A = this chain, B = another copy of it.
């Protein structure tokens, strides 16, 4: 049995040399191919096109009996839009693939469409096409299309040793919401504010565009599967390592009223998924051009890019320990 990463690698290998005449007649127009947050097509003039696709599958990315259909509709588009944010691309439109059991084509679909339309308005993404089909379980596939000024789209692979590491917003809020749902206490009094980021995450589109337009970052990724896991991805693509300062991490504080859940905010911040914040690297000399807020979102300097090999967390005392790539792996069978 192959893991998700192995499947991607396997498909990539099988496809090397795909396209007409080794690379295809448009080969030179694909500026970024597989393996980043999105593919980039270089136009001869004007804007480049940025395209990404994502799935939102019942039992994997949501639980139909727990998550309201509005949330499923909203999140499926938010998740895909976050890939555009990670490239610094301006959102343009999206295409929807939808497989539904017949029992979901009534009230459930109404709610789903409401959530999707809300996200569509909020992110500036118009529905441009799609396909619907019957399916045994709910399957959603979303392809987003955006644009970026010629050559400005930000990949994961440009980070260099000595650069500074930045992250937007807060980390762990979405994972806390997920824990409330998994423990079945999301209906409890006072839970609603804690569910907001799990239910209605906000892809950092304006921040991404702001940064890309000024060409400030050298590499960028969105945090979808957890800070640590996505930091490892950025470092692997850039062939670098990193040190993260624990004291600078913008952890979401767990309210005292929920201490009975025995959750650790550092654990949620490092390894919880679905924050959809941006993680990016900036050369030392450009650090003064990064404000403390961009488009209303706080921006934190949280570490340094080091040479390849080690990704570490530096505690309050200055002692370092390895930061594992462990992250959110959808709903594992042993979990939900």
A contacts, CB < 8 Å to B: 1-2, 4, 7-8, 10-12, 14-15, 17-20, 23-27, 29-30, 33-36, 38-39, 41, 43-47, 49, 51-55, 57, 59-61, 90, 92-93, 95-100, 102, 105-106, 109, 113-114, 116-117, 120-121, 124-137, 139, 141, 143, 145, 147, 330
Contact = CB atoms under 8 A, between A and B. Distances in A.
Contacts of A106: 1-2
A143 B39 contact: no
A2 B98 CA distance: 13
Most buried by B among A4, A14, A49, A128: A128
9 contacts: A2-B109, A14-B117, A18-B126, A33-B129, A44-B46, A57-B133, A60-B99, A61-B133, A134-B330
Given A99-B57, A105-B7, A106-B2, A26 B135 contact: no
B132 A4 contact: yes
A18 B125 CA distance: 7
Given A30-B126, A93-B39, A136-B136, A98 B18 contact: no
Q: Is the interface of A mostly helix, strand, loop or mixed?
A: mixed
Contacts of A59: 136
Nearest to A97: B141
Nearest to A3: B105
B51 A51 contact: yes
B133 A330 contact: yes
A5 to B, nearest CB: 9
A120 B45 contact: no
Most buried by B among A15, A34, A43: A15
Contacts of A15: 116-117, 120, 126-127
A110 B99 CA distance: 25
Contacts of A10: 109, 113
A133 B133 CA distance: 19
A53 B130 contact: yes
Nearest to A95: B53
B60 A20 contact: no
A30 B130 contact: no
A129 B39 contact: yes
A53 B90 CA distance: 21
